């Protein structure tokens, strides 16, 4: 049964393609009924070229050109003009769907090649905090929208994945166009995007493994064991096998042999993933990670880039063929709700968090604007989700199976068009808010920023070394919240009762971690014991309060999700009120400081040197 209020414009019977080429009334351009592989590939390549050319001409991402071109030649387009009818050029082709999967596998292999563990370790704390928070808030927004629509849980998870997946390709391309690769925040931004992609792949592995059609019910414990063995195998390759054998791979002089070796490794890794009920793209992603820190990584990129581009173009074109234009009107209400939530999460919440942990206002706004784009990652979630749901008889295709591809397509078009504009104007946006925020807000935010910066950002002074206990408590608490969100019944109730104990433990470790930074950081206010205690209490209230609210939302989500919105709004009011209090106690005292002691008495101004001499006498 369809979700209320989301019926398509045409019934299923009206959307079906006629089997006969003869039409009694009017002239008609029929879909080409051919089994020729040459024809399919020729049409895909030619239309892809035209779509890319038009997209480049109008200065929009080429991927958008591929998607639009796929819609126009797909089996779901129906036009009637003055007796003429057009029903697409290509029908559903198993061959095209298969080779599009090859493009997806190669695309994720290249993403894995960018996931350098060595580079990520330089920005691990800041990148991890930004990535986890941005992904979690985006997923929460997707869950809110899915609950509002009345979608089942599995469909809602894939919808949340589409909404929360930022585009690493568009972010990197825009940074190159704006000449910001040398900026201080760029390394953190790229580390954040790469880590977010890794977390998304891990989540996709779990969700897809639980809905793949099988004769027996899925054992979640065995699924986690399989994922653990899979990750452990690639960790063994990256840590032991590849470092000792990379020199052998470098000795391959023949380019043909090198490409065959690379393709064999990629697709064997994908096959291993499928054998463990894990998406093939995850296996390719991990294989890319294995070679990311080796000297042959650059050679792999150069030699396989043309293959990747060709197959990836086919993937996006076939994705466009899955989109039913008749369903675009039905997904517009979802889009109207989704776009403001994405802007709120990426442009404001993520930028605010980036400022809190130590970035300048301009750098923080640039990070938030760079996360707005949606592209290949969102389409990945939509494609895998729609295909998995349609292939599972026990799941209804009336929700994500029908509406997720068109929603992802139009969302990518809108957000990928907005992202370059917002990135270009990020400095103006930062100046706009800096000039209009109340002084109490800016003062309180500066206190939090100066404290967290010494704990999170890279710093090699002994007194500012990060506290491992605090980091370990945060990691354990994050894992606890994830388990709390997915558990049900008595297990959920038991974990809910234990959550306050964990919050207290995080508060104790945070207090221990913040004590030295608060004592030695220059806040620009009176550094007496009272002020230090007030600052420490204020920062702990903001940080630990946020973690406690996350736990409360995870507890109440399953019972009545609208209550979580009230809780989040209440926390926002508490933060604003706390900032006003600390500003009155400390900020307003800035104008009441005692005058500096002068060793020489200041002489009154004189109009001439004679008047000055009389004053001295």
Residue written as token pair 């998995």: 388
Task: Tell me what the mean pLDDT of segment 372-396 comes to.
Answer: 79
Task: Tell me what the mean pLDDT of segment 329-348 comes to.
Answer: 88
Q: Provide the pLDDT confidence category of residue 548 given band limits of 50, 70 and 90.
A: very high
Tell me, what DSSP letter sits at residue 83? T
Supply the pLDDT for residue 1: 41
Residue 156 burial class via C-beta count within 10 angstroms: exposed 0-12, middle 13-18, buried 19 and up = buried
Best CA proximity match to 520, nearest among 508, 536, 540, 506: 536
pLDDT in tens, 133-190: 888 888 888 888 888 888 888 888 888 888 988 876 667 666 666 677 667 677 777 7
**How far apart are the C-alpha atoms of 320 and 72, rounded to whole Å?**
8
Q: Is the pLDDT of residue 122 over 70?
A: no
Task: Please tell me which residue, 561 or 159, carries the higher pLDDT value.
Answer: 159
Structure tokens at 544: 């630990």
Cα torsion angle, 441, 446, 447, 448, sign: positive
Task: Please tell me which residue, 231 or 338, carries the higher pLDDT value.
Answer: 338
Supply the pLDDT for residue 251: 81
Residues in a beta bridge with 27: 84
Q: Provide the pLDDT confidence category of residue 211 given band limits of 50, 70 and 90.
A: low
pTM reported for the whole predicted model? 0.70
**How far apart are the C-alpha atoms of 159 and 150, rounded to whole Å?**
12
Q: Is the pLDDT of residue 279 over 90?
A: no
pLDDT in tens, 411-453: 887 887 788 788 888 888 988 888 888 888 988 888 888 888 8
Task: Please tell me which residue, 19 or 200, carries the higher pLDDT value.
Answer: 200
**How far apart are the C-alpha atoms of 446 and 102, rounded to whole Å?**
49
Q: Are 161 and 199 in contact (CB under 8 A)?
A: no
Q: Provide the pLDDT confidence category of residue 14 given band limits of 50, 70 and 90.
A: very low
């Amino acid at each position: 049964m369809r979700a209320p209020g989301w019926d398509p414009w045409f019934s299923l019977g009206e959307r079906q393609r006629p089997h006969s080429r003869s039409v009694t009334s009017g002239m008609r351009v029929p879909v080409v009924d051919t089994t020729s592989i040459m024809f399919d590939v020729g049409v895909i390549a030619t239309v892809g070229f035209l779509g890319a050319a038009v997209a480049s001409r109008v200065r929009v991402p080429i991927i958008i050109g591929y998607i639009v071109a796929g819609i126009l030649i797909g089996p779901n387009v129906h036009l009637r003009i003055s007796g003429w009818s057009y029903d697409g050029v290509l029908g559903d082709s198993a061959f095209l769907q298969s080779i599009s999967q090859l493009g997806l596998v190669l695309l994720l292999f290249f993403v894995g090649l960018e996931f350098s563990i060595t580079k990520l370790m330089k920005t691990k704390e800041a990148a991890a905090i930004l990535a986890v928070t941005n992904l979690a808030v985006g997923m929460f927004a997707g869950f809110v929208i899915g609950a509002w629509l009345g979608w089942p849980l599995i469909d809602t998870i894939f919808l949340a994945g589409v909404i929360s997946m930022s585009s690493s390709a568009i972010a990197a391309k825009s940074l190159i166009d704006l000449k910001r690769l040398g900026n201080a925040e760029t390394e953190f931004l790229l580390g954040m995007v790469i880590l977010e992609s890794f977390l998304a792949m891990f989540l996709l592995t779990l969700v897809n493994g639980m809905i793949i059609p099988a004769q027996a019910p899925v054992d979640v414990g065995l699924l986690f064991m399989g994922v653990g063995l899979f990750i452990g195998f690639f960790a063994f390759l990256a840590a032991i096998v590849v470092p000792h054998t990379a020199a052998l791979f470098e000795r391959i002089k023949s380019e043909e042999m090198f490409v065959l070796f690379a393709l064999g490794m990629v697709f064997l890794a994908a096959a291993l993933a499928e054998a463990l009920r894990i998406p093939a793209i995850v296996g390719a992603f991990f294989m890319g990670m294995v070679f990311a820190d080796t000297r042959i990584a650059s050679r792999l990129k150069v030699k396989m880039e043309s293959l990747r581009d060709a197959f990836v173009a086919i993937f996006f074109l076939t994705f466009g063929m899955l989109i039913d234009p008749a369903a675009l009107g039905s997904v517009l209400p979802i889009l109207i709700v989704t776009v403001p939530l994405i802007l709120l999460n990426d442009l404001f919440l993520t930028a605010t968090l980036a400022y809190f942990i130590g970035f300048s206002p301009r750098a923080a706004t640039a990070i938030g604007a760079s996360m707005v784009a949606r592209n290949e990652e969102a389409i990945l979630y939509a494609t895998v989700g729609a295909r998995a749901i349609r292939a599972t008889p026990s799941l209804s295709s009336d929700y994500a199976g029908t509406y997720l591809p068109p929603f992802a397509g139009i969302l990518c078009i809108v957000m990928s068009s907005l992202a370059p504009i917002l990135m270009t104007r990020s400095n103006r946006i930062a100046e706009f808010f800096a000039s209009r925020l109340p002084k109490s807000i800016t003062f309180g935010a500066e206190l939090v920023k100066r404290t967290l910066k010494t704990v999170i950002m890279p710093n090699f002074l002994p007194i500012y070394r990060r506290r491992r206990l605090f980091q370990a408590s945060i990691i354990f608490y994050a894992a606890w919240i994830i388990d709390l969100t997915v558990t049900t019944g008595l297990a959920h109730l038991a974990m809910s009762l234990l959550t306050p104990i964990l919050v207290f433990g995080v508060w104790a470790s945070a207090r221990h971690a913040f004590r030295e930074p608060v004592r030695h950081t220059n806040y620009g206010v009176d550094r007496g014991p009272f002020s230090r205690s007030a600052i420490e209490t204020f920062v702990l209230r903001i940080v630990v309060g946020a973690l406690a609210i996350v736990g409360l939302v995870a507890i109440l989500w399953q019972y009545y999700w609208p209550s979580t919105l009230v809780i989040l709004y209440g926390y926002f009011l508490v933060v604003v009120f706390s900032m006003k209090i600390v500003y009155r106690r400390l900020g307003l005292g800035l104008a009441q400081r005692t005058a500096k002691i002068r060793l020489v008495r200041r002489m009154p101004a004189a109009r001439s040197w004679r008047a000055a001499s009389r004053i001295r006498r």
